[in-house]
Copies of this chain bind each other. A is one copy, B any other.
């Protein structure tokens, strides 16, 4: 935890930004909720619990900054709000999501599934791939089970 903060601090400094208390509080919330996909509002409310004086605009500005530095990824599940996700340490590629259209659960996949596909795209379309986003929509294991039970 502390070492990850330290590393993020260095990344900010390298780009001539400071890790202010507000920014640190925001980053801590992201680290503590790494499993979730928080919206700006979510982050704001969580940061407020520990730093009640923070403003929503600051959270937005911080998240924008972190996105720019590729410390977080800004993602969109189509529900009208942007969500923010910490990148895995050292990850150069975006991770993937399994989104259950029944219950709304979102599972993350860190494995890189697209190595081969990327090569194919680079070759066939002459496109230099730098990043990718992949989401699968369907039914998670739990909802499949539920369905089977209903049918009996």
Contact = CB atoms under 8 A, between A and B. Distances in A.
Contact of A117 (B74, B76, B117, B135): B117
Decide if the interface of chain A is mainly helix, strand, loop or mixed.
strand
A114 B118 CA distance: 11
A121 interface: yes
A137 B98 CA distance: 20
Contact of A127 (B76, B125, B138): B138
A141 B134 CA distance: 22
A127 B139 contact: yes
B130 A118 contact: no
A39 B136 CA distance: 23
A144 interface: yes
A6 B11 CA distance: 56
Interface residues of A, number: 33
Q: Which 10 A-B pairs have the closest CB atoms?
A: A126-B141, A130-B138, A128-B139, A131-B137, A129-B138, A76-B76, A128-B138, A134-B134, A132-B136, A113-B117
Interface of A: 74, 76, 78, 82, 98, 100-101, 107, 109, 113-114, 117-118, 120-121, 125-141, 144
25 contacts: A74-B78, A98-B121, A98-B127, A100-B127, A101-B130, A107-B127, A109-B125, A114-B134, A118-B136, A121-B136, A126-B140, A126-B141, A126-B144, A127-B136, A127-B138, A127-B139, A127-B141, A128-B138, A128-B144, A129-B137, A129-B138, A132-B134, A133-B133, A133-B137, A134-B135
